[in-house]
Amino acid sequence: LDQITTVSPSIAANIIQELQDQRGNLKMIASENYSSLTTQLTMGNLLTDKYAEGYPHHRFYAGCDNVDAIEAEAAQLAQELFGADYAYVQPHSGADANLVAFLAILSAKAQKPVLAELGQEDPSKLSREDWNKVREVVHNQRLLSLDYYSGGHLTHGYRHNISSHLFDVSTYSVDRQTGLINLDQLRQQLHEVRPLILLAGYSAYPRKLNFARMRELADEVGAVLMVDMAHFAGLVAGKVFSGEFDPVPYAHIVTSTTHKTLRGPRGGLILCKEEFAEWVNKGCPAMLGGPLPHVMAAKAIAFREASRPEFQTYAAKIVENSQALAAACVAEGLDVLTGGSDNHLLLIDVAKTFGLTGRQAESVLRECKITLNRNSLPFDVNGPWYTSGLRIGTPAITTLGMGTAEMREIANIIKRVLSNVTAAKTASGKKSLNKYILDNEILAEAQKRVEALLANYPLYPELDLNLVQ
Ligand code: PLP
């Protein structure tokens, strides 16, 4: 840090302040975690300087022996951890992993047959006219994915994302009454749409999915089953999601991030069946440039950490805490969607119970030192910016060591704060969607209670505090 300070005091200060922020607030954003210091150290070193386009032992640069070894080890560990046929560890993020997977499926299932018809395997050798014939077929493929308001991710065909340019997108939603994904309704939709890809996986859905059944449904219409397990990869690695709830045996392609429940470095991962390996491996040049050797090394560290028995205990505890938090919230009178949680997150409707937007609830809780995010709810009338809900996750506080007693305390604090907040009035006398009023005494009480919780579970206690003041 001293060296960083010499070059840029402001960046050094931001790093220190971020540590203080993460130490001083309850991190309940469902997509975040605390990676180990070993993982962080593996990411921050000279490996960042090496170019290695291609894949192990097939590079477009010289001097890649060490990167070859790192990438091969990370891929091997991922394959073993998840029991996959093939693993690809180059994607820089979950969004990249999804794009690489889309392109791999399009190449294998849509482009290849047209190339065969044209009698040319290599697209770079086609005339412009013939290549346009290929593009026309490739760009007309259908994707069926979970809609954004039901918990799907932007990269699953949201209109403002490139995925909606790549595909003719149809979406499925949760059932209005139950809030659950209804596989009978999905089956009907699959038969109507007959997509190339059935995409499962979510950013904001509090239940588990039956991937064995989803594969059967995909097979009925000859669709490729792609599962984006970015959020719950740690629960798969930790064997909480096993049998029919483990996507790896059933999906043709599984994409993931490595930094959420999996607790590794920020990055992406693809697992696939042998049939797609050749195409997935062409992530570069399909859409990636050079891989990030330092991050692939850190992924290897995280995969090793996740294959230890302690990680299984951790994964089970994430879900135990999420269920305890959901039960405590229900007991406090909060509106927990679907009535509970099977995974690491729960959704709460703050509009119905408290007349607040998600944005107001997020802001007031942040003032009370609870960091979580507002989230659209299914069929949300408040749109994606203000929203009607909160998404609350337990991966990070479980890493700190918190348990069910703390979940009850947190539910009580949330209830006490939200039931004492009112929406402020705008200049024209309407209810503000942003601003709110909270009594100072309630605020101080909530802050004190959160501080008391955090005092028992210090973050990175091994970091020398003298360094970071
Ligand atoms: N897929 C899902 C289901 C996600 O929730 C996210 C991120 O929140 C992503 C993909 C994208 O990951 P990244 O932010 O690493 O691009």
Q: What does the pLDDT look like over 377-411, one tens digit per residue? A: 999 999 999 999 999 999 999 999 999 999 999 99
Q: Which atom of ligand 1 is nearest to the CA of 259?
A: 15
pLDDT band per the 50, 70, 90 thresholds, residue 225? very high
Ligand 1 within 6 A of 388 CB?
no
Ligand 1 within 6 A of 151 CB?
no
Q: What is the pLDDT, as a whole number, of residue 466?
A: 54
Residue 389 alpha carbon to ligand 1 centre in Å? 19
pLDDT tens, 258-279? 999 999 999 999 999 999 999 9
**Which residue from 236, 224, 253, 216 is spatially nearest to 97, judged by alpha carbons?**
253
Residue 57 alpha carbon to ligand 1 centre in Å? 30
pLDDT tens, 277-318? 999 999 999 999 999 999 999 999 999 999 999 999 999 999
Q: What is the pLDDT, as a whole number, of residue 469?
A: 45
Q: Which atom of ligand 1 is nearest to the CA of 31?
A: 8
Residue 275 alpha carbon to ligand 1 centre in Å? 25
Q: Which one-letter DSSP state was computed for residue 268?
A: E
Tokens 């605390």: give the residue. 34
Binding positions are: 152-154, 274
Ligand 1 within 6 A of 344 CB?
no
Q: What are phi and psi of 355, to 5 degrees?
A: 65, 25
Element of type H or E holding 395: helix 395-400
Q: Are 368 and 450 in contact (CB under 8 A)?
A: yes
Q: Which residue out of 96, 102, 203 has the highest number of ligand 1 atoms within 8 Å of its CB and is therefore the one to mutate?
A: 203
Residue 308 alpha carbon to ligand 1 centre in Å? 25
Tokens 């959704």: give the residue. 347
Ligand 1 within 6 A of 264 CB?
no
**Which residue from 94, 357, 106 is spatially nearest to 202, judged by alpha carbons?**
94
Q: What are phi and psi of 78, to 5 degrees?
A: -65, -45
Element of type H or E holding 199: strand 197-201
The residue whose CA has the least distance to atom 10 of ligand 1 is 94
Ligand 1 within 6 A of 256 CB?
no
**Which residue from 88, 118, 123, 94 is spatially nearest to 107, judged by alpha carbons?**
123
**Cα(440)–Cα(274) distance, integer angstroms:** 60
Q: Which atom of ligand 1 is nearest to the CA of 268?
A: 15
Q: What is the pLDDT, as a whole number, of residue 388?
A: 98
Tokens 């922020």: give the residue. 21
Q: What is the DSSP string of 396-437?
A: HHHHHT--HHHHHHHHHHHHHHHTTEEEEEPTTSPEEEEEEE
Q: Can you tell me the mean pLDDT for 352-358?
A: 97
Ligand 1 within 6 A of 155 CB?
yes
Ligand 1 within 6 A of 163 CB?
no
**Cα(151)–Cα(29) distance, integer angstroms:** 15
Q: Let me know if 465 is exposed, middle or buried by CB neighbors in 10 A (0-12, 13-18, 19+).
A: exposed
Residue 332 alpha carbon to ligand 1 centre in Å? 31
Q: Which atom of ligand 1 is nearest to the CA of 93?
A: 15
pLDDT tens, 77-113? 999 999 999 999 999 999 999 999 999 999 999 999 9
**Which residue from 202, 314, 226 is spatially nearest to 264, judged by alpha carbons?**
314
Q: Which atom of ligand 1 is nearest to the CA of 92?
A: 15
Go through the chain and tell me how many residues it has. 469
Q: pLDDT at residue 179 above 50?
A: yes
**Which residue from 198, 182, 99 is spatially nearest to 145, judged by alpha carbons?**
198
Q: pLDDT at residue 48 above 50?
A: yes
Residue 215 alpha carbon to ligand 1 centre in Å? 22
Residues near 90 by Cβ (< 8 Å), separated by ≥ 6? 55, 71, 100, 268, 283, 284, 288, 291, 292, 296
Report the alpha-carbon angle 437-439-442, nearest 5.
125
The residue whose CA has the least distance to atom 12 of ligand 1 is 94
**Which residue from 302, 305, 253 is spatially nearest to 86, judged by alpha carbons?**
253
The residue whose CA has the least distance to atom 9 of ligand 1 is 94
Bridge partner list, 389: 349, 375
CA distances from 395 to 57, 119, 157, 311, 373 (A): 37, 51, 27, 12, 14
Q: Let me know if 375 is exposed, middle or buried by CB neighbors in 10 A (0-12, 13-18, 19+).
A: buried
168-172 vs 142-146, strand pairing mode: parallel
Q: pLDDT at residue 342 above 50?
A: yes
Q: Which residue out of 153, 202, 231 has the highest number of ligand 1 atoms within 8 Å of its CB and is therefore the one to mutate?
A: 153
Tokens 């090394």: give the residue. 297
Q: pLDDT at residue 343 above 90?
A: yes
Q: What is the pLDDT, as a whole number, of residue 1?
A: 82
Q: What are phi and psi of 80, to 5 degrees?
A: -70, -45
Q: What is the pLDDT, as a whole number, of residue 465?
A: 54
86-88 vs 421-425, strand pairing mode: unpaired
Q: What is the DSSP string of 207-226?
A: S---HHHHHHHHHHTT-EEE
Q: What is the pLDDT, as a whole number, of residue 97?
A: 98
The residue whose CA has the least distance to atom 13 of ligand 1 is 94
Q: pLDDT at residue 341 above 70?
A: yes
**Which residue from 188, 130, 309 is spatially nearest to 237, judged by alpha carbons?**
309
**Which residue from 110, 198, 207 is spatially nearest to 156, judged by alpha carbons?**
198
Residue 94 alpha carbon to ligand 1 centre in Å? 5
Q: pLDDT at residue 135 above 80?
A: yes
Taking the CA atoms of residue 455, residue 21, residue 34 and residue 5 in that order, the dihedral angle to the nearest 10 degrees is -120
Tokens 């097939």: give the residue. 58
Burial annotation 226-247 (CB, 10 A radius, 16+ → b, else e):
bbbbbbbbbbbbbebbeebbbb
Ligand 1 within 6 A of 390 CB?
no
Residue 417 alpha carbon to ligand 1 centre in Å? 30
Q: What is the pLDDT, as a whole number, of residue 462?
A: 86
Q: pLDDT at residue 468 above 90?
A: no
Q: Can you tell me the mean pLDDT for 354-381?
A: 98
Residue 93 alpha carbon to ligand 1 centre in Å? 7
Ligand 1 within 6 A of 234 CB?
no
- Answer yes or no: is the ipTM higher than 0.85: yes
Ligand 1 within 6 A of 179 CB?
no
Q: pLDDT at residue 201 above 60?
A: yes
